[in-house]
């Protein structure tokens, strides 16, 4: 089967790597899920009681959590295969 510029099984390797990355990120998040702290691990500011009540195990204040979410969005939006439109041009 012709694969263009990839070796045989290259696409499956990319899919496997993406799945493994997602599993590793999920496992890393589970490790920190049950910590109970009153202070943000990043900046050291107190985490409001209402936030800790609604989100048990929260480790970051709102500002630091927003920064972390933005970083994860940037990381998870990475397309390993490139856009098909760019390949057609």
Q: pLDDT by residue (tens digit) across 39-53?
A: 998 999 999 999 988
In a domain, 8, yes or no: no
Q: What are phi and psi of 48, to 5 degrees?
A: -55, 145
Task: Say how many domains are in the chain.
Answer: 1
Q: pLDDT by residue (tens digit) across 62-85?
A: 999 999 888 877 665 555 555 555
Residue 12's pLDDT is 87
In a domain, 53, yes or no: yes
- Domain span at 66: 30-75
- Of the candidates 49, 59, 51, the residue with the CA atom closest to the CA atom of residue 28: 59
- Of the candidates 57, 64, 56, 67, the residue with the CA atom closest to the CA atom of residue 40: 64
To which H or E segment does residue 31 belong?
A: helix 10-32
pLDDT, greater one: 73 or 22: 22
To which H or E segment does residue 58 belong?
A: none
- Integer Cα distance of 71 and 73 in angstroms: 5
């Amino acid at each position: 089967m012709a694969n263009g510029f990839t070796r045989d099984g290259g696409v499956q390797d990319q899919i496997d790597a993406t799945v493994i990355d997602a599993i590793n990120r999920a496992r890393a998040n589970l490790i920190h899920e049950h910590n109970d702290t009153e202070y943000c691990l990043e900046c050291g500011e107190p985490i409001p009681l209402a936030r800790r009540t609604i989100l048990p195990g929260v480790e970051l204040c709102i500002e630091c959590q927003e920064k972390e979410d933005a970083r994860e969005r940037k990381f998870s939006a990475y397309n390993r295969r490139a856009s098909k439109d760019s390949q057609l041009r």
